[in-house]
Amino acid sequence: MPLVSVQQLLDEAAKGGYGVGAFNVNNMEQIQAVMEAARETQSPVIIQASSGARAHCQDRYLYHMMLAAAELYPEIPLVLHQDHGNSFETCKSAIELGFTSVMMDGSILPDGKTPSSFEQNVEVTRKVVELAHDKGVTVEGEIGVMGGVEAGHGAGGTGRVTDPGQAEEFVARTGVDSLAIAIGISHGAYKFKSKPDGSVLKMDVLIEIHKRLPDVHLVMHGTSNVPKDLQDVINQYGGKLNPTWGVPIEEIQLGIRNGVRKVNVDTDSCLAITGAIRKFFAEHPEKFDPRDYMKPARDAMKKVVALRMTQFGQAGHARDYVPIGIEKMKQRYAAGAFAAK
């Protein structure tokens, strides 16, 4: 199966009332972990790469590993998504490479740190939409500013919560297919000093945006759960993580019931891999072959990803529909099939 359109995956998720996990990768083992979890749970899946991941892997390596994944797992609808494109040029290069979906994060400037103005965000996002739709590629935009920093990207601090009225205007003026919103969640592992509740996570804002934009797929970024058991493994075997809380699964599920269709996960995968590697070396200090320690690392990430796929509701939906390729999506965009959004 070729790499497919995220628009179809999210449309189907909306029909079924579930979310689709978007899992960040940086190497072959992470791609394998996601694909094995997708096969085990029979889930459609979004694999995404940040600009930092693209630089780390080198684009051609990354793209051809994704083609291999599509070839080896033909029953799994698979999307390759550019996460947090920080400029028009970044998104353009992803589209030219073969990404089937891009995020233009115009909420901050190309330095990846400085918040931009609303008008700047609209201008660059609309420009990316025009280019992408002409190629059959889906576009995710962002309104509001996420807090924290992950993979060198983020404004730090607590961010800026999305204004529902601006979200409505932003979608109308840009034509984005999905919308990432800021509701008090941050990037990275150190999100909250205690378990967050409704006073920290602005779920009322999310619900209001969904009421105003019922046909637009919402996206939650920074939604790793940061479970204590993964933290404990790292600390048990020599790590020094400070106590931290992530986003409760029940809050993510509330979001899914209110229009969230794409759920980003990165930190949980990293915690699982790091814990498994630390444990392996503590128990086998004589070992040095990367194959020896990357196998349990890959298995640990697979376990976490499979659990998230089940919790988000996408498990069991891989064979619900015949995936649409990018060329057909190109025709549909040209015919105005998604203009109402």
Q: Is residue 294 part of a domain?
A: no
Is 222:191 a contact under the CB 8 Å cutoff? yes
Q: Is residue 110 part of a domain?
A: yes
Q: Is residue 33 part of a domain?
A: yes
* Residues spanned by the domain of 169: 6-224+246-265+301-334
Q: Give the global pTM.
A: 0.93
Query: Which residues, 6 or more positions from 124, have their beta carbon under 8 angstroms from its beta carbon?
Result: 87, 88, 104, 106
- Nearest-Å Rg of the Cα atoms of the chain is 19
Report the CATH number that the domain containing residue 194 is assigned in CATH: 3.20.20.70
Q: Is residue 271 part of a domain?
A: no
What pLDDT does 214 receive? Answer: 96
The total number of structural domains that make up the chain: 1
Q: Is residue 127 part of a domain?
A: yes
Query: Which residues, 6 or more positions from 130, have their beta carbon under 8 angstroms from its beta carbon?
Result: none
What pLDDT does 198 receive? Answer: 63
220: enclosing H helix or E strand = strand 217-220
Q: Is residue 112 part of a domain?
A: yes
Would you write out the chain's pLDDT as a tens digit for each of its 341 residues? 679 989 999 999 999 999 999 999 999 999 999 999 999 999 999 999 999 999 999 999 999 999 999 999 999 999 999 999 999 999 999 999 999 999 999 998 988 778 899 999 999 999 999 999 999 999 999 998 765 444 444 444 456 789 999 999 999 999 999 999 999 887 666 667 777 766 678 899 999 999 999 999 999 998 888 999 999 999 999 999 998 888 999 999 999 999 999 999 999 999 999 999 999 999 999 999 999 999 999 999 999 999 999 999 999 999 999 998 899 999 999 988 776 55
The dihedral of CA 310, 316, 317, 319: what is its sign?
positive
Q: Is residue 284 part of a domain?
A: no
Size of the chain, expressed as the number of residues it contains: 341
178: enclosing H helix or E strand = strand 178-181
Strands 45-50 and 20-24: parallel
Q: Is residue 276 part of a domain?
A: no
Active site residues: 83
